[in-house]
Amino acid sequence: MERAPTSNRAERILICYTHAKIKRNFELYCIFRVRTDFRKEAGTCNMAAPHFPAPVPGQRHTGLGKQRTMIVIILSATIAMLGSITLTTDASWHNASSHRTTSTPVSRSTSVATPAHTPTLKPTLTPTQAPVHTPQLGYPLFYGNSHLPEIALTFDDGPNPYYTSQVLAVLQHYKVKATFFDVGYLVADYPNIVRQEYNQGNVVGNHSWSHPELTLLSASAIRSQIASTSTAIQTAIGVKPTLFRPPYGSMNHTVLAEAYSLGVTTVLWDASAGDWSLPGVSVIVYRILHYVHNGAIILLHDGGGNRAQTVAALPTLISTLENQGFSFVTIPQLIDDLATSSPHSGVSKHRATTRI
Ligand code: ZN
């Protein structure tokens, strides 16, 4: 069997190494991403094997071959550097892979298939960092303790005079507590609904005053959005909120810093059904049951549009997840339980049997 010329063999080794490095970086990146929907996208990380032309029998190693080898080396090194950069520049990847509806902050278009609440920036995670999360101010929480079969239901964009009470009725029927991230001006308009949320044992969090894209605002405007909402919530229920969720999950260092300075913990999510886009009750149920895991923070909406499907999906969601062994906790409880280690060795088995 005829062997390939030396230059072609070197090219293959270099390119294979480069692709393996990029793929490995990408896999690490996918592993350390914390959003469930991104983990589904990880299937697209597979890189096609490079194509090599068949070696020409008897071809000699010429000067042209050396030049070509040098070009390949330079290109390979450049590609490898880009692969490494991909591991750390989260925002650039996100901008290329996601869709945000920034022009409709409260009432969103139903023709867009991707969730409006898509985080635009997450902390840079390197393989040496634990994925999540000692709860601390200034660092967003995406999910809770992965060793405990507990889930946090969260509802955004309320209070809504029509749907919030329906959500509360379902929660009360199943004796489930949830966390509501309320919009400031709606809190001012409907303080009684906020009090109802709070009096039923739920937690009320801050979702900005007018649901803007905070990353487009100045630091002082961001501060005003958060501070005014906290004041409105405190006026409504007598308790200052300690949790904050940026609209669309959109944040940058300024948003995090302002939230930190105002004493609220930024909370994101890692399981979303895209219920705001009215995909259908069965789709909402399927997506949540598919994404859910120990410690999951589930994103749903009780305001910002027609939430009839969300309300209709809730009983099935709650009863199914309870039958699977999950319990429902508020975000503060989820944070408290981050420090709890699992007393059972069979947690991973539980996870394996509860995923569908
Ligand atoms: Zn929202």
Question: Which string of DSSP letters, residue by residue, matches 101-156?
Answer: -TT-SSS--SS--S-S---S------TTS-SS----TTS-B----TTS-EEEEEEE
Strands (E), the chain: 150-158, 179-182, 203-206, 243-244, 265-266, 271-272, 297-301, 327-328
Do the domain assignments include residue 348? yes
193 and 46 co-located in one domain:
no
Residue 198, pLDDT above cutoff 50: yes
Mean pLDDT is lowest, of 47-56, 225-234, 255-264, for 47-56
85 and 172 co-located in one domain:
no
pTM over 0.75: no
Q: How far does residue 65's CA lie from ligand 1's centre (Å)?
A: 58
Is the separation of the CB atoms in 277 and 154 below 8 Å? no
Exactly one of 19, 37, 90, 156 is catalytic; which is it?
156
197 and 341 co-located in one domain:
yes
Range of the domain at 21: 6-51+62-90
Do the domain assignments include residue 116? no
301 is catalytic: yes
Q: How far does residue 181's CA lie from ligand 1's centre (Å)?
A: 8
Q: How far does residue 232's CA lie from ligand 1's centre (Å)?
A: 17
Q: Which pLDDT does position 141 carry in this prediction?
A: 93
CA distance 181 to 261: 19
Do the domain assignments include residue 175? yes
Mean pLDDT value of segment 165-178: 98
Q: How confident is the model at residue 243 (pLDDT cuts 50, 70, 90)?
A: very high
198 and 69 co-located in one domain:
no
337 and 203 co-located in one domain:
yes
Do the domain assignments include residue 31? yes
Peptide bond into 127 cis (omega under 30): no
Q: How far does residue 276's CA lie from ligand 1's centre (Å)?
A: 10
Mean pLDDT value of segment 50-77: 44
Do the domain assignments include residue 125? no
181 and 327 co-located in one domain:
yes
Do the domain assignments include residue 102? no
204 and 342 co-located in one domain:
yes
253 is catalytic: no
Return the CATH number at 162.
Answer: 3.20.20.370
Exactly one of 133, 301, 302, 350 is catalytic; which is it?
301
Q: How far does residue 25's CA lie from ligand 1's centre (Å)?
A: 33
Q: How far does residue 267's CA lie from ligand 1's centre (Å)?
A: 12
Q: Which pLDDT does position 57 carry in this prediction?
A: 38
331 and 217 co-located in one domain:
yes
